[in-house]
Structure formats: structure tokens, C-alpha cells
Amino acid sequence: MCGFPTEVLFLSRQDIDAIITYEDVVAAVESAFRADGNGDMYVPPKEIMDVAPGTANSMFAMPGLLRDIGVAGVKWTGFYPQNPDGLPTLWGLVLLLSHMHNGQLFAILDATTITAMRTSGGHAVVAAKYLAKKDSKTLGILGCGAQGRSGILSFDRHFPLERIIVHDHSRERYDLIVHELGGQLRARLEWAENPEILAIQSDILLCATTSEEPLIKADWIQKGCFVAAMYAFNDIDPGLSASADKWVIGHAGSDRIEILELPVFLGKIDPENVFATLGEIITGKKPGRQDDNERIVFTHMGMGSLDIAVGNHLVKKAREHGLGQVLRLT
């Protein structure tokens, strides 16, 4: 039996919340997509367990490897769209990080905040940097849950927005967002009466709901609009995959399994319409936005490598700030 001492840094949610910023998240996520474009990312399939037959509730493991930084890891998380109000839909219990060169575990992190911030506030923002119009002034948000909130905060920091217009099935949830975030934003928050008004007025449209029915029609998307569809074509018209000037996915392997070959989308989308992966665009292998009139849609269901990139950055930052607890495993 090996007697080599194994010391692991443990970061609680409180530790993570004390140091994480949207700037950290966007930078780390962009570096991960760049690694993918350069062939330095490995993303095995997620191991998904359906925990409640007849619902979308599930728990899954999300492994990944980033060769450029020499780190591998796995996130254990859950997706519970049937949760009642007050309970999160997405949660990340733990993120485990290991050194690629020797396999040694070096960090255990709570991944709840990382998950919330790196989705709408992370990979949607990175995609928009390459695919949205540079002078985008109006952000539309469909859905006022945790992902909608994350998108509002991160897009407001990274784009010179003038308006953020929001629609949700509950006006009360929007009012709560205004109360919580109104004073923190550079852009002004506005209510959109319905999804059609939201779509028509948006330069950037973030769809962040758990709806299993399309709420946005393809012909509502105006020239020049960039659409970030966080739940793929569940809450937005699948026809946009064909009618948009460009359809970009996050990762060829993971999105093939979770979007392109998903039974619910068979006959509704054609994988041949995919223009590029985001990694290909970031590394210059394929062009991003080429014209201010292009309608571009981005779909990605997330992958563990993005959380690993963010987590590794936060481990370094935590050590600089003296945060966390050191656990002795052996």
C-alpha cells in the first residue's frame, strides 16, 4: 500500500463565493473552449441517471481533461427541472480535480456557484464575444431563474448594454430580480410583456428556461440577433437551427449526444446545419460573425471541462488568499 501523503485543498461554497467573479469565469471558460479548438480537451460522455421515471429529474457525473493545464476532474451534479419554486433546478455538489501527470487528487470544491455562473454567465457570454454584434445594446432574457440572473450580471459586465429586457411566466420573479439587482447594473432593466416582444427587440437573446415547449418562434428573431439557447431547442423553435445564418455548438462530442442525436429532436433538427464548434471559432479555424445582419444561434448543454477550468483557476486564487481547508487523505 502506498504511503505517499495525499493532501487535498477543500473549498466550501462560502470559500468559492468569497473569491469568484464573472471575469474569472469568462476567462477560464474561454480558455477551455480554446483548448478544445486546439485539440487539448477530452470530454467523455456524461454518466446520467434518471432518478424519477416520467420526469426530467436526473443526476450525473461530468468528467473532463484539459491537457494544456494538465488537469483532469469530474463534477457530480443534478438537474431537477421539476423542483418547486425556492429549490434550484441545477446544482453542483462537488468538483474533484487531479493532476494529469500523476493522477493525484489535489482539490475538492463545492460546485454550486461555479455551475450557476459558468452557464449563462460563462459559456453564453464567451459565445457572444465572438458571435454577437459588437455594438449590441439590448439583451433579452427569457427566464428569471438562477441562469437568467447569472446572465444579467455577466452580460452587463462584459457588454456595453443600454437595456436588459426580461420575460418570465411569473411577473413576481422579475420584480424580485429588479429589487435584488437593479442598483448593481449599468443597463436599465425592463419588462417584456411576452416572448415575441422580447425576441423582436433583442440584439442578444438568452433563453434560460426549463420549458419543454418552444416559447420563441424562429421568425421572431431579427437580423443581426445572436441567440444563446441554454436548453438547446427545448424552449426555442428547432426551425432556427436551419433558418439561422449560422448554428454553432459548444462541443462536437458532448453536443452530438445531448442535442444532435437526442430522440426528442429527431426530425426537427439536422446535424448537417451545424456551422462550427465554439472552439473552432475561437481558434480561427472557422469565422465567427462576419456580417451585422447575420442571425446566429448557439446551443450547448454544458460539460465538465468548463467547470474544471474554472475550478482550477479558483484553487490557485484560494491559495493566494489563504482560503480553504487542507484535508489529509493518507
Residue 119 forms part of a structural domain: no
Residue 2 forms part of a structural domain: no
Beta strands in the chain, from DSSP E residues, in sequence order: 7-11, 41-42, 47-50, 58-66, 71-79, 90-99, 105-109, 138-142, 163-167, 188-191, 204-207, 226-229, 246-249, 274-277, 296-299, 325-328
Q: What is the pLDDT of residues 101-116, one digit of tens each?
A: 999 999 999 998 998 8
| 184 and 38 fall within a common domain | no
Q: Within 10 Å of residue 88's Cβ, how many Cβ atoms? A: 16
How large is the average pLDDT for residues 118-138?
Answer: 96
Query: CATH number of the domain that 110 lies in?
Result: 3.30.1780.10
pLDDT at residue 92, as a whole number: 65
| 174 and 212 fall within a common domain | yes
Q: What is the pTM of this model?
A: 0.92
| 146 and 290 fall within a common domain | yes
Confidence label for 294 from pLDDT (cuts 50, 70 and 90): very high
In a 3-state reduction of DSSP, which class is residue 95?
Answer: strand
| 144 and 106 fall within a common domain | no
| 95 and 195 fall within a common domain | no
Q: Please state, in angstroms and rounded to a whole number, the distance separating the CA atoms of residues 311 and 107.
A: 9
H-run or E-run covering 82: none
Q: Please state, in angstroms and rounded to a whole number, the distance separating the CA atoms of residues 46 and 26.
A: 23
Q: Can you say how many angstroms the Cα of residue 28 is from the centroid of all Cα atoms in its chain?
A: 12
Beta strands in 148-219, from DSSP E residues, in sequence order: 163-167, 188-191, 204-207
Number of domains the chain contains: 2
How large is the average pLDDT for residues 274-291?
Answer: 98
| 101 and 144 fall within a common domain | no
pLDDT at residue 1, as a whole number: 47
How far are the Cα atoms of 137, 149, 185, 194, 252 from residue 178, in angstroms, in the given order?
19, 10, 10, 18, 37
In a 3-state reduction of DSSP, which class is residue 262?
Answer: coil
- Grid coordinates belonging to 294: 447575420
Q: By residue range, what is the domain housing residue 163?
A: 130-299
Is a pLDDT exceeding 50 seen at residue 45?
Answer: yes
| 141 and 235 fall within a common domain | yes
pLDDT at residue 139, as a whole number: 98
Considering only CA atoms, which of 214, 276, 290 is closest in space to residue 248? 276
Residue 121 forms part of a structural domain: no
| 173 and 292 fall within a common domain | yes
In a 3-state reduction of DSSP, which class is residue 246?
Answer: strand
How large is the average pLDDT for residues 228-245?
Answer: 97
Q: What angle do CA 245, 247, 249 make, to 5 degrees?
A: 160
In a 3-state reduction of DSSP, which class is residue 185?
Answer: coil
